[in-house]
Structure 1
């Protein structure tokens, strides 16, 4: 592409289907990229016309069913487990972040024509976490405006439990970095954020300030380090690593390889639906695990009522198959709500060093 300015042609049609080429935001020559299938149509048209013509028009993003047209995990996306603390499954979710039309500093050089004409612009195409973050932040702001009484944890829960792990063909979201195989929660978290569904999630996993203090207190920091993190007077009398989080990760270390381990999680959900409701659990077990949910039905008599349940996972510390994923979904009996949490059986972060 960078050699095109040295040619004598006025514009170019590039034929390619490799996903990275569609992320170019440095295109110093008039042109368009089309797929081999589209190329056959262009060639047929050009060969049959005595004066073929082409125009380039801006088109809104349209999702298709080809691999490069579906929502997918970018090959350069950050992946878990979390290095600072792997006891909470990370990332939480994914959001659009590739080739986003974004506001840009107008006094910096942006596009160029040929090799010596540099232009400034108020907008450009950018990719990365800096583009996905505004989508998530905007969704959080929307939820806070709709539910002023919700805590940050409640807003986070609503986004996570309503995120979509499927693409627009109802297949698992694929990972571009691994030849479009199915992505795991270590790449997409709960899935692609869905602002409309997050507005009315049915159930939320809430967290208090003391819950967060209990988590920090469980991390074996010195008193000085704990005080630095919490930045307030704190009570470490009830340390607990089992935060009321909308996802689950059952860890094992290299030293535990071959052993059968059991991990128990306790969670509390709050009914934020319209009123009384009954939920039944649907479970997708990670491979080669035994999972038990107690109770398997949650019955709420009124809005804001809380109910607790316990998830127990029994699994083998298999270093050869480090990551096994599944999910737990609470489904409202009338089908209005599906409150989904990913489950990950994973080697701890130390095994990835």
Structure 2
């Protein structure tokens, strides 16, 4: 559900969801002899942290009605869970002499939430010998149930909950054999003790592997969330467990399960609950207005009902003395940055001044509604960035009352922002410096604030002046982050089409890439805030699902690459260095590689260039393709013949361009409109 459209009359998301279902009054009959009766579907779970939504048992008719209601986003059926396996500490090369264990004090006071089949609390791995007091931030509990009471938790096993409402909804008459957090399968006990079990000496498997057993983080705390049952396991219960783990305050979620290889990301509860496109903070004004801003302040901090200060004499947050004078222990609204100003310098200057002052935090304003600030790498002090659209709302509120207040909640993640994607400032631009005759880049892929595993003994963030933080995961950016996205898609395509060559895979990825963002406009270039060109994005943003079935591919063989190298006036040594053999025949050198993009380079004497290409039909059955051409300004592009498979593209340039370039495209479209193979065109001076 889209929680942002929840009417203010509702006190909570649960109230809203329940009221939504109350309107779905339907008539149902359980047996032929029963009288018709009115039934209201009941909420099974409501989700607030892992996602915004709820699980419910509905009829097909009610389902159709629900889809038309305000706030509805998407739905998918509950599905069964498939269990995966874990690994051992020896494989990770953990030791007490150097590395992660001593650097992290063996995970002291880290809370690991294990989403699995429960726990066997009597195991020696859950003894709390050597464990200090439970962290005060812990909000969870030890939930009693069958053969399980609250006394079974301790300073090691600090929480235990269980979730099976989804399972019961699937089979209402089901009798749960162990209706508690107690593990009857063994999988949950194995995974949780592997993650953070305490030291147990003299352990062996019937004499094998004798020694001391301990978890990866033996001094960490364990909280278990039982969602896997002997009678079955369903996604709705898994989401409920993850949702509760987040609410309870776990630091790490360990979840060794999945939902099948064919489950798309938008229907995978684990992917939905874990995925982060960008980090934000929520800013709530005293009048109830909620604004989503941007922040990477790395502490789970809540600044609640703090005084809000907007002082027009405070022209910028670049003086710690003035900040302390006008906004002591308050949130200050800083002056917005001008279009021509260096944003990174502006932010770092004000962030430093805020840190040296006595203010509680700051609200920074970017004068353009775009995502340049998302490339910032740090927030040393509590702060949030808002756009110029929201600026007036905040300032108007600050002026409207004698005691304005604001609440800022950090460490929240939202997805689905617009516009996206955009080309980052650091992204490599074309044309190719090595061989301008081939249009580069090929395409673009995600590379900004990508979350992935990290070495835990290396600096990842700084709080205040000198408090350094480390993390097992980090969010960084660069072309190096975009590359593995493209590599992964290529690997998937190779698995689906093992007969395809590397060139065919590249072709499929390029001709199906999307030049438009999620607002259906041309992707923007963050370096100048102008529409991106093929020299910025190539064919566009990678689209994995479309690349699976491109319809047409442009293949390239080894001799074709050899012909290209032959045309580049390389020395024999240079040629041999690349090819590692002299067997290539250079009798027919050609720079016209069978590439799925075009760049025409003209000098003062040339006015026409021709490209000969061959496209191969890899679709199902015979198809007829016709060309759709978008002419670059001031040029004439013709394709002969108008139908495939071998064809010639002729580009005639009508004028000299004095260094600037124009772009267009042509697209092969099959007769049924199922396949569209798009190729960008760039025309520029040589």
TM-score bin, normalised by smaller chain: 0.7 to 0.9
How many residues get paired? Answer: 331
Matched, 1:4 2:4: no
Conserved? CA contact 1:22–1:33, under 8 Å: no
1:311 counterpart (633, 649, 665): 649
- After TM superposition, list the pairs within 5 Å mapping 1:118-129 onto structure 2: 118-129=468-479
Larger Rg: 2
Q: Secondary structure at the match of 1:55?
A: strand
2:608 counterpart (262, 273, 285): 262
* Equivalent residue number for residue 210 of structure 1: 559
State the TM-score, normalizing by the size of structure 2: 0.46
* Equivalent residue number for residue 301 of structure 1: none
Matched, 1:28 2:380: yes
- After TM superposition, list the pairs within 5 Å mapping 1:275-290 onto structure 2: 275-290=621-636
Gaps of 5+ in 2: 1-350
Matched, 1:297 2:643: yes
Matched, 1:322 2:660: yes
Between 1 and 2, higher relative CO (CA 8 Å, sep ≥ 6) is seen in 1
For residues 260 and 212 of structure 1, do their structure 2 counterparts lie closer, same or farther at Cα, with a shift above 3 Å needed? closer
For residues 161 and 286 of structure 1, do their structure 2 counterparts lie closer, same or farther at Cα, with a shift above 3 Å needed? same
Q: Which whole-Å CA distance do the structure 2 matches of 1:97 and 1:51 have between them?
A: 37
* Equivalent residue number for residue 351 of structure 1: none
Q: Secondary structure at the match of 1:277?
A: coil
1:132 deviates by 1.0
Q: Which whole-Å CA distance do the structure 1 matches of 2:432 and 2:408 have between them?
A: 49
Q: Secondary structure at the match of 1:2?
A: helix
Matched, 1:113 2:467: no
Q: Which whole-Å CA distance do the structure 2 matches of 1:162 and 1:129 have between them?
A: 21
Conserved? CA contact 1:260–1:317, under 8 Å: no
Deviates more, 1:81-90 or 1:22-31: 22-31
What CA deviation, in whole Å up to 9, does each residue of 1:225-245 have, x standing for no partner?
A: 211111123222222111100
* Equivalent residue number for residue 680 of structure 2: 342
Conserved? CA contact 2:423–2:537, under 8 Å: yes
What CA deviation, in whole Å up to 9, does each residue of 1:227-278 have, x standing for no partner?
A: 11111232222221111000011112xxx33x45111111101111111111
Q: Secondary structure at the match of 1:249?
A: strand
Deviates more, 1:17-26 or 1:35-44: 35-44
- After TM superposition, list the pairs within 5 Å mapping 1:66-85 onto structure 2: 69-85=419-435
Deviates more, 1:99-108 or 1:149-158: 99-108
Gaps of 5+ in 1: 299-306, 349-353
- After TM superposition, list the pairs within 5 Å mapping 1:228-247 onto structure 2: 228-232=577-581, 233-247=583-597
1:43 deviates by 5.2
Matched, 1:184 2:533: yes
For residues 53 and 343 of structure 1, do their structure 2 counterparts lie closer, same or farther at Cα, with a shift above 3 Å needed? closer
* Equivalent residue number for residue 272 of structure 1: 618
Taking only aligned residues, the RMSD between alpha carbons, in angstroms, comes to: 2.0
* Equivalent residue number for residue 302 of structure 1: none
1:41 deviates by 4.2
For residues 103 and 318 of structure 1, do their structure 2 counterparts lie closer, same or farther at Cα, with a shift above 3 Å needed? farther
1:317 deviates by 5.5
Q: Which whole-Å CA distance do the structure 1 matches of 2:447 and 2:353 have between them?
A: 28
Q: Secondary structure at the match of 1:137?
A: helix
Q: Secondary structure at the match of 1:265?
A: strand
Conserved? CA contact 2:456–2:470, under 8 Å: yes
Q: Secondary structure at the match of 1:3?
A: helix
Conserved? CA contact 1:260–1:316, under 8 Å: no
Deviates more, 1:335-344 or 1:28-37: 28-37
What CA deviation, in whole Å up to 9, does each residue of 1:295-322 have, x standing for no partner?
A: 1123xxxxxxxx2111111114613263
Q: Which whole-Å CA distance do the structure 2 matches of 1:94 and 1:273 have between them?
A: 25
* Equivalent residue number for residue 222 of structure 1: 571
Q: Which whole-Å CA distance do the structure 2 matches of 1:124 and 1:17 have between them?
A: 29
Matched, 1:53 2:53: no
Q: Which whole-Å CA distance do the structure 1 matches of 2:414 and 2:496 have between them?
A: 28
1:162 deviates by 0.4
Conserved? CA contact 2:657–2:684, under 8 Å: no
1:282 deviates by 0.2
Q: Which whole-Å CA distance do the structure 1 matches of 2:405 and 2:668 have between them?
A: 61
Q: Which whole-Å CA distance do the structure 2 matches of 1:87 and 1:150 have between them?
A: 25
State the TM-score, normalizing by the size of structure 1: 0.87
Q: Which whole-Å CA distance do the structure 1 matches of 2:423 and 2:440 have between them?
A: 14
